Structure formats: structure tokens, C-alpha cells
Amino acid sequence: MKALFPWHVAAFNTIVSQLDRLPPGLLLVGGRGAGKLRFANHLARALLCTREAPGCGQCTQCGQFLLGHHPDFHVLTTRPILDTHGDSPIKAGERYLAGIGRGVTGRIITVDQIRALTGALASTAHGPGSKVILVMTADDMNRNAANALLKALEEPTDNTFFLMACRMPAQIAATIRSRCMVVPLSAPPASVLRKHLAGLKSSTQTMLDRAMTVGLGLPEVAETIILSEAE
């Protein structure tokens, strides 16, 4: 699992310090390549972990999460996102994409996926921790799916958390936004991003210049350029 970007650590620590007081929904807001998925992964692991230091990475709960088959970690996503990030815990979303191909239907989160999720949430947790639902991304829900998700948010089961990543919060229904803690995950200034990239293994001046130019200031894209060229 990819490490948190340094400029997101403070926000992460603030949330983890109040795990027992969190609302059922968290809206992770950031543009393309801002690091929403890696932030959500770290937060989901912390919520599922039962050790004193949340997200320990050593316990059974963390191990199941990292392997992508924790029974209390649910992912609602689209086929293109799953295909792109299938090597991360988000691959747990395959259970709700069964039978959905790569056509138009596979590019949206459907009401059938939400209904399948609510059915799964009706049962008790399999582990001793929370139930965590990652919606990646909430912008990709159609209206019927959003309405169905709202019902789940209005009547959440105990220790159930919805982590909803989105690019444009204005497109998310106000009734959903009002039930969520908004977590801004913006890209850093160019100087901060460049310093981060310079600290990556095997980075060179030429690679840095290329990553900053081609990456367009998008942390995920720029980091991928550095790491792929270093291989």
C-alpha cells in the first residue's frame, strides 16, 4: 500500500485522533491524482484495526485488508477504476462488480451495487472492528444510486463508516454532503511536490523536471513517472 503523501499526514492524524467521534460519512475531496485513494486506504485500515495504534499493519485485521479480502471492507467503484488500481485493497470492489462488463454500465456506480451493499451491511460484522465502505468515486453514482446510498447514511448500523472520494463535491447531493465530514485533499504547491519527488529513490534532476512538467502538478502522476523511470 502506498504511503500517505507528507502534506496529508496532519489531516490523517487529526481524523485518527477522533475515531470514536466520527460521523458515519467522510467526503474525501480532491482533484485527479491528488491521493484520495491512498488516503482512503490508510483511513480504512485504521478503522478496521483493533490495536491501540490504529492501522498497525501487523494484526490479522490489517493483514486481511492489505490482501484485499477483509470481510468488513466494502468497495463501490467502477470497472475502469478497479482495472487501474487492482493491485491495491480496492480490489475488494470486485464482489459488487460481478457480471458488470466494461461498457457504459461499468463506468457508473449503480443502484444494484448499493442494494447489494446494504444487504451485506445488514449482517453483523465478521471481525471485532468497524465496517468500512469506500465509494470510489462518489461522482460516478447515478441519481438512483445516490438516493439508495442516502438511505444507508440516514440509518447507519453501529460502527459503520462510509469513505466517499469525490472530485467535485458540488455534484454530490446536498442531503449526502450534510451528513459527512468534508476532508480536503488538495495538491501541494509545486515546491513542496518537487521536494517530495526529490526524496524518492533514484530520482535525478532530469527525472524531476520531466515529472513536474508531464505530471502537471498532480502528485500521483508525478510520483508514478519518477518510480517508473527509476525501474
Q: What is the pLDDT of residues 181-204, one digit of tens each?
A: 999 999 999 999 999 999 998 788
pLDDT of residue 93: 82
* Whole-number Cα distances in Å, 15 to 10, 22, 43, 153: 9, 8, 8, 19
pLDDT of residue 100: 59
Task: Write down the mean pLDDT value for the chain.
Answer: 88
CATH no., domain 17-184: 3.40.50.300
Helix, strand, coil percentages for the chain (3-state, nearest 5): 50, 15, 35
CB 169 within 8 A of CB 29: yes
Does residue 202 or residue 40 have the better pLDDT? 40
pLDDT of residue 230: 61
Quick check: 223 pLDDT over 60?
yes
Quick check: 59 pLDDT over 70?
yes
pLDDT band of residue 90 (cuts 50, 70, 90) is confident
**Angle, CA of 51, 57 and 62, to the nearest 5°:** 75
Question: Three cell numbers at 186?
Answer: 488538495
Mean pLDDT confidence for 109-134: 84
Mean pLDDT confidence for 13-40: 94
pLDDT of residue 218: 94
pLDDT band of residue 57 (cuts 50, 70, 90) is confident
Quick check: 69 pLDDT over 70?
yes
**Angle, CA of 56, 57 and 59, to the nearest 5°:** 85
Quick check: 13 pLDDT over 90?
yes
CB 89 within 8 A of CB 41: yes
Measured between alpha carbons, how far is 14 from 27 in angstroms, rounded to an integer? Answer: 15
Helix, strand, or coil here: 64?
A: helix
pLDDT of residue 5: 96
pLDDT band of residue 86 (cuts 50, 70, 90) is low
pLDDT of residue 74: 93
Phi, psi (deg, nearest 5) at residue 181: -85, 125
Quick check: 104 pLDDT over 60?
no
